[in-house]
Structure 1
Amino acid sequence: MLLMKIITRYVYELLESDCNLKKISIPVDATESEPKSFIFMSEDALTNPQKLMVLIHGSGVVRAGQWARRLIINEDLDSGTQIPFIKRAMDEGYGVIVLNPNENYIEVEKQKMHKQSSSSDGTDEPAGKRERRDKVSKETKKRRDFYEKYRNPQKEKEMMQLFIRENGSPEEHAVYVWDHF
């Protein structure tokens, strides 16, 4: 997992430094606090009247600028990234846009909901019975948490996905870029 993040970050750096692409945040009108994604584009992508190449990678875990992580790891960057295609297209006078359709959400830590336990909860349940039920519930949660940590030791915190506005799926992402750029 960590290796994949490092590879992705490195490919993004190469898109900006070696290919001279600009990282453009989307949605274009996003506020500071809302989830965002991005695409990469050459300076002439929107002004080149003759040629435009739009690169879209496959589905799954690959990100902008990548064809296949397995090729990057087992072969080399030229085999597993879009960089050779981008450089050739730019040499031949194309504007370039690199889509990022698999980055549809950000993950944030789930806020724990504190359940209020009071005798005025609308039930006529005796206090002793409620205490036993709460104790069983806590034990069940403890076992579930232990099992989850054993099953997935990497996962320390419970996470939730916040989808990116108008980019919540690969299809939405492609349509958004088409409509706005």
Structure 2
Amino acid sequence: MGNSPFPTKLKDFGYEFKDGSLKDIKTGGGFEFNVSKDAEYNQARYEALGEVITEEVYALLESEAGLQRLPVPANAADGEPTTFVFASADYRTADKLLLLVHGSGVVRAGQWARRLIINNGVKEGTQLPYIERALSAGYGVLVLNTNDNRRVTGERKQFIRDSGTPEQHALTVWDTYVRGAAATDVAIVAHSYGGVVTLNLAVRRWEEVQKRVSAVALTDSVHSMGGARCGPEVQKWLAECAVNWVTSSSPLDTELARPTGDACRRSAGHKQHEWTSWSCIDAVFPFLEQRLQQRRKAAAPATPTENQGGDDEKKQ
């Protein structure tokens, strides 16, 4: 962490994850933000802790979910800056594949909301509950890392090739890892700005996306149809295969008004943006399965009913 005065290990901050929550090692209490009268110090300490939390989540993706790191770009030269995504061992061979796309800002692969991880717990703020459900349901999993776009060497900031923006990162992951995977059905769960990234992917890889993506679950997405430059084909596809679970005081999954040509909107069952991914998980997976079955039924060849021949004979 360069010249930072703060530790680089969680235990050196005096914290540990215990029973899924961040706890003070000595007192067993939760995270304390105001440890100094210096507000700037408190904020800097919080941000430094957040960087350590990122590494802790990476470790959990590997140790608890059994995911592996895949490089981006995959063909990097020696010494070239790279990032990575996380994938299940069967992501290439599974017949259905789930992509997880976080929002903008400081979050990295495996995180929905850093504040929730620190103040509430791993299950509320990370993507681990989604990954666990997906794996148990037979999905291969790819966890994108759309905000990890550059490396700093000395005074120089160098953008990662083919991953300099969240949108570019998603396109590269699709081209490198999704395109060659066996899955005939791909599902996407995307939070906040992840919806913008997903719509850009649909527009830029339209022929492939319309053939393979069976469902898109958005959690309080901030996309706009104009911003994504969606034509009528993409709008029709989005209206049919996507749901945006948005902040609302209504019960989970309540149908809400939606803009013309946009995804269906339903209540996420929570009024705060960062909570939406966690609060709507029980609605997301039944939706993914429903869309998967609808798509497979529509693609199945028509078969004669058992009494079809008899009916024809009677008509003759």
Structure 1 length as normaliser, TM-score? 0.71
Could you say what secondary structure the match of 1:9 adopts?
helix
For 1:90 and 1:17, how far apart are their aligned partners in 2? 14
For 1:57 and 1:108, how far apart are their aligned partners in 2? 26
Matched length: 131
Find the partner of 1:166 among 159, 162, 186: 162
Amino acid at match of 2:107: V
Could you say what secondary structure the match of 1:87 adopts?
helix
Find the partner of 1:69 among 114, 123, 126: 114
Within a 5 Å distance, the mapping from 1:14-163 to structure 2 comes to 14-49=60-95, 51-110=96-155, 160-163=156-159
Larger CA Rg, structure 1 vs 2 = 1
Structure 2: where are the runs of 5+ without partners? 1-46, 178-316
Tell me, yes or no, if structure 1 residue 176 matches structure 2 residue 222: no
For 1:44 and 1:98, how far apart are their aligned partners in 2? 13
Could you say what secondary structure the match of 2:84 adopts?
strand
Could you say what secondary structure the match of 2:129 adopts?
helix
Could you say what secondary structure the match of 1:176 adopts?
helix
For 2:48 and 2:57, how far apart are their aligned partners in 1? 14
Aligned-pair distance for 1:74?
1.1
Q: In the alignment, which residue of structure 1 is the partner of 2:292? A: none
For 2:57 and 2:78, how far apart are their aligned partners in 1? 25
Amino acid at match of 1:15: L
Return structure 1 stretches of 4+ with deviation > 6 angstroms.
none
Structure 1: where are the runs of 5+ without partners? 111-159
CA-to-aligned-CA distance 1:42-63 (integer Å, 9 cap, x gap): 01111112x1110000011100
For 1:32 and 1:17, how far apart are their aligned partners in 2? 28
For 2:79 and 2:65, how far apart are their aligned partners in 1? 30
For 1:11 and 1:94, how far apart are their aligned partners in 2? 21
Amino acid at match of 2:89: E
Aligned-pair distance for 1:2?
1.9
For 2:65 and 2:78, how far apart are their aligned partners in 1? 28
Aligned-pair distance for 1:6?
1.1
Q: In the alignment, which residue of structure 2 is the partner of 1:133? A: none
Could you say what secondary structure the match of 1:60 adopts?
coil
For 2:141 and 2:131, how far apart are their aligned partners in 1? 7
Aligned-pair distance for 1:77?
0.5
Amino acid at match of 2:100: L
Could you say what secondary structure the match of 2:53 adopts?
helix
CA-to-aligned-CA distance 1:41-91 (integer Å, 9 cap, x gap): 001111112x11100000111000000001011110100000011011101
CA-to-aligned-CA distance 1:130-172 (integer Å, 9 cap, x gap): xxxxxxxxxxxxxxxxxxxxxxxxxxxxxx3100001100000
Aligned-pair distance for 1:27?
0.6
Find the partner of 1:6 among 43, 52, 63: 52
Aligned-pair distance for 1:14?
0.3
For 2:72 and 2:78, how far apart are their aligned partners in 1? 12
Aligned-pair distance for 1:32?
2.0
